[in-house]
Amino acid sequence: MDLLIDAHGQVHCVYAEAIDRRMLGVPRIVRASHVEPDESGQWWADLAPVQGPPLGPFERRTLALAAEKEWLEKHWLVFCGSSATR
């Protein structure tokens, strides 16, 4: 789990339960995507809440979740933490 700390001391990360983020202050959790099945049972990760693309289709939800996490870490988290340190 990557934690990015910006110049104002705010910590940014993709949600995971690896650590208790409350130790870093009051958490503010916002939705970055929706992982849902379509009418044929294929899974999609819709990253529209962070102006990202739809990813999919995937046969399994775990594959959609992995693609979601990878995209968020490569594109969204870096953007959130621009001028941040790891």
Q: How many other C-beta atoms can be found within 10 angstroms of the C-beta atom of residue 59?
A: 11
Which pLDDT tens digit goes with each residue over 12-70? Answer: 888 888 888 788 888 888 889 999 999 999 999 999 999 999 999 999 999 999 999 99
d(CA 40, CA 16): 29
Residue 68 placed within a domain? yes
Domain that residue 36 falls in: 4-80
Q: How many structural domains are present in the chain?
A: 1
Residue 86 placed within a domain? no
Task: Enter the pTM of the model.
Answer: 0.79
